[in-house]
């Protein structure tokens, strides 16, 4: 099909935490392909795929808390269980009764945790580069980012070149320049918001 389907942008609030959401396809369908980004992603990572899914069914993606343009509250439960609950709240708010989960990176653990508690609502699962997480040890930058105060200082002092270098570790090709620019701007915005 060559017809392009319009993408709708909206915001959903789950327990007071706002998540921008991208929707396309049959809005009345109770079944949807649900794309869950990883770190350092957002719903925008999935725009091309959402457009390809829309002719065949409903497609959704959201910025998860702490990512993209979603809220970044200090009191959010930034654990796998907390993200799984937020994902479940998004699906409930959108009226999704059966989900075809497409999970990337950390979104894999969030989506799998939700799926394990809601097996009857899972239509299918696609895993992209999620890894197996039992006993997971954070990479060097991840360990720094997770430290109170130090993580904020690292993010506030990171340059675009420094971010590109850090994200190239373990991925020699690096990321496309436009994507790196977008991630850097999101991190700058988050750093300036946390300083208010």
Query: For 134-156, how does the pLDDT look when each residue is reduced to its tens digit (9 = 90+)?
Result: 677 777 777 887 788 888 788 77
Considering the chain, what is the average pLDDT of its residues? 87
What is the spatial order of strands in the sheet that 98-104 belongs to? 8-14, 17-24, 58-62, 31-36, 98-104, 122-128
Tokens 């069914």, located at residue:
57
* Spatial separation of the C-alpha atoms in residues 108 and 129, rounded to whole Å: 8
Ordered by start, the domain boundaries in the chain are 1-135, 137-196
pTM over 0.85: no
If one compares 34 and 143, the residue with the highest pLDDT of the two is 34
pLDDT at position 167 over 80 = no
* Chain position carrying tokens 């988050």: 190
* DSSP-assigned letter for residue 138: -
Q: Which two tokens stand for residue 172?
A: 């020699």
Q: Look at residue 195 and tell me whether its pLDDT is greater than 60.
A: no
Quote the tokens at residue 30: 């109770």
- The arrangement of secondary structure in 1-135, i.e. its CATH architecture, is 3-Layer(aba) Sandwich (3.40)
State percent of the chain over pLDDT 70.
88
């Amino acid at each position: 099909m060559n017809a392009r389907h319009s993408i709708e942008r909206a915001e959903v609030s789950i327990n007071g935490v706002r998540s921008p959401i991208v929707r396309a396809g049959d809005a009345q369908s109770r079944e949807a392909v649900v794309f869950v980004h990883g770190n350092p992603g957002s719903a925008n990572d999935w725009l091309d795929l959402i457009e390809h899914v829309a002719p065949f069914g409903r497609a959704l993606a959201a910025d998860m808390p702490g990512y993209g343009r979603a809220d970044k509250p200090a009191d959010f439960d930034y654990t796998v269980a907390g993200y799984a609950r937020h994902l479940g709240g998004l699906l409930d708010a959108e009226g999704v009764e059966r989900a075809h989960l497409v999970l990337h990176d950390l979104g894999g653990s969030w989506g799998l945790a939700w799926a394990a508690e809601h097996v009857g609502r899972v239509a299918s699962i696609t895993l992209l580069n999620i890894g197996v997480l039992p006993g997971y040890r954070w990479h060097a930058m991840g360990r720094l980012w997770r430290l109170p105060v130090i993580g904020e200082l690292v993010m506030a002092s990171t340059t675009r070149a420094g971010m590109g270098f850090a994200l190239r570790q373990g991925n020699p090709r690096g990321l496309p320049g436009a994507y790196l620019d977008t991630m850097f701007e999101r991190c700058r915005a988050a750093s300036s918001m946390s300083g208010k």
